[in-house]
Structure 1
Amino acid sequence: MSDVAPMEVDRPLRPALLRGWQRRCPNCGSGPMLRSYLKVRESCPVCGEALHHQRADDGPAYVTILIVGHILGPMILWAFVKWRPDPLVLTAVFSVGTVALSLWLLPRIKGAFVALQWSRRMHGFGSGE
């Protein structure tokens, strides 16, 4: 036959993304993926799945900025038109909201990026390394 190794097991995308969103191992779903705020573990402490292959880089930050901007941009406009607050009040309130939402979303989106790479066997996740 051919020298190409068949795909071992199907890796469904949706469960992997949900596990990544929860910052859990995309393989088993029970081991923590991150060892600090954004640092991905070398491997899962529960199932041993290697996670060092991940190449999330700037993608999660870009998507986080995109989502936060699309949520808070219209909210700022709405709040300004409805209540006409002092610009300093508007800036203070929405600055806190922007930082809080960004800090909450960033590790979850990074987990989803790693899970997507794992599910699609990208960057070494599919080769028996």
Structure 2
Amino acid sequence: MVAQDQTVPPPVVTGLKGLCPRCGKGHLFQGFLTMRPRCEVCGLDFAFADSGDGPAFFVMSIVGIVVVGLALWVEFAFSPPIWLHLVMWSALSIALSLALVRPSKGVLVALQYHHKAEEGRFKK
């Protein structure tokens, strides 16, 4: 539990670091993308955390813009053979995707906690 005098850590910072959105000390991930069941420091239950396809969408968008922009620039500036394009941009796409997916999932989970986001429900 977060003490009364302790401030809540900023959600983007804790998400990028993969830390608990409530205390900012415990780890959010058990594996590369597997969420822990709860924070080992404050005991926050991570059952609320469902980032869905959000991280994949943002990663695909960012990687796509970067890779296509660089590929066009390299093509017009240097005109390399197609096999070199395939090797360079495949490797860059994989590396950027792996580097960005975990921090983006952490940020989305932290923002979900910070804004108390839940599934939509109909009133009865």
User: TM-score band (shorter)?
Assistant: 0.7 to 0.9
Match of residue 64 from structure 1: 59
Q: Percent identity?
A: 31
Question: Using the alignment, how far apart are the partners of 1:13 and 1:74 within structure 2?
Answer: 38
The reply to whether residue 107 of structure 1 matches residue 99 of structure 2 is no
The reply to whether residue 31 of structure 1 matches residue 26 of structure 2 is yes
Q: Which moved more, 1:97-106 or 1:54-63?
A: 54-63
Alpha-carbon offset, residue 120 of structure 1? 0.2
RMSD: 1.9
Aligned residues: 114
Do the aligned partners of 1:17 and 1:26 also contact (CA within 8 Å) in 2?
Answer: no
Structure 2 residue corresponding to 1:46, chosen from 26, 38, 41: 41
> What is the DSSP-based 3-state SS (H/G/I as helix, E as strand, rest coil) of the residue aligned with 2:46?
coil
Question: Using the alignment, how far apart are the partners of 1:14 and 1:46 within structure 2?
Answer: 14
Alpha-carbon offset, residue 110 of structure 1? 0.3
> What is the DSSP-based 3-state SS (H/G/I as helix, E as strand, rest coil) of the residue aligned with 2:34?
coil
> Could you tell me the TM-score, scaled by structure 1's length?
0.82
Change (3 A) 1:39 1:14: same
Structure 1 residue corresponding to 2:15, chosen from 11, 17, 20: 20
Change (3 A) 1:13 1:65: farther
Question: Using the alignment, how far apart are the partners of 1:41 and 1:70 within structure 2?
Answer: 32
Question: Using the alignment, how far apart are the partners of 1:28 and 1:82 within structure 2?
Answer: 49
Residue pairs, 1:67-78, within 5 angstroms? 67-78=62-73
Gaps of 5+ in 1: 1-8, 125-129
Equivalent residue letter for 1:96: A
Residue pairs, 1:84-123, within 5 angstroms? 84-123=79-118
